[in-house]
A and B are shown apart, each in its own frame.
Chain A
Amino acid sequence: MLKFTCPYCGIEASETELHAGGEAHLKRYGPGSADEEFEGYLFLRKNPKGVHLERWRHAMGCGKWFLAARHTSTLEVFGTYPAQTHEPPAEILEKIRAKYPEALK
């Protein structure tokens, strides 16, 4: 079972309390951007089998969006962090790279 600790309410929430929100840290291309940029922002994801940085919402709980780092095939969780974070925290990156040096490149 996949479990994340919500950084807002501190609950270790099981997957049924959560709603998946797709890849985190996307750069938004809005009005005025090139078609290719907008297409990339809207549709194109790397989606590797491995380490992902994702958006999740504690939907059946405190209701907040947060970010999480996990491995999609082993379900290892490297950590969760608040949605108001522009980059993954250094300690989470370290944990990931210690085990998967090629991840997130």
Chain B
Amino acid sequence: MSDPQSALGGAVYQGYLTVKDAGAQGMLTLRGDHATLGAAVKAATEQGVPAQRQIEGGLGGGAAWASPDELLLFCDYSAAPEALEKARKALEGQYFLAADVSDARAIFTLEGPGIRDLLAKLCPADFAPKALPTGEFRRSHIGQVAAAFWLESEERATVVCFRSVAQYMFDLLSKAAEPGSELGYFAPTAS
């Protein structure tokens, strides 16, 4: 067996918060009528179908609302082929699309204070806690590239982007995390 390689091989930048390539991550795209996807989501991730813009679970087993007819599922990288099979079986006879997109994407985690401030430098989304509560899966763009992200807590967030732009994303997040560049708008700065 070959070793799965994430886009940046686990690169880490330590700034006022930590930017980390989260490693190889299992991901499935599931498209269809959300009302009919429940069994497939359960079989692939052990989670329920998320409500609009929500994510159920996390990287170890999760389901995120991507559009009115699309979900992004998360599982361990090695479990993705089997999860895909389970989802397909559960949807037999229905109109759907299921694809393993693990190798098409890159995942970064942000850990530390000031996540809302950091992302607000790079993205047009409203990062006020009311507009983007924890557990909300937001699709937008970070810098020049499409991205999706959610905050698990005020000190932990996950960013998803296309693998082809992983280096750009890492550089951008790292630059925005340079010590001394804290905005202190949403979170008080340490210094």
Contacts and interface: CB of A to CB of B under 8 A. Distances in A.
Contact of A8 (B68, B126, B146): B68
Contacts of A64: 67-68
Interface secondary structure of A, over-half rule: loop
Interface stretch (A12-20, A28-36, A37-45, A86-94): A12-20
Determine the interface band of chain B, counting residues with CB < 8 A from chain A. 10 to 19
B68 A61 contact: no
Interface residues of A, number: 14
Contacts of B67: 8-9, 62-64
Nearest to B141: A60
Interface secondary structure of B, over-half rule: strand
B139 interface: yes
Contact of A62 (B66, B124, B126, B141): B66
Contact of A14 (B66, B70, B124): B124
Given A12-B126, A17-B141, A60 B52 contact: no
Interface string A1-14: 00000001111111
Interface of B: 52-53, 66-68, 70, 124-126, 138-141, 146
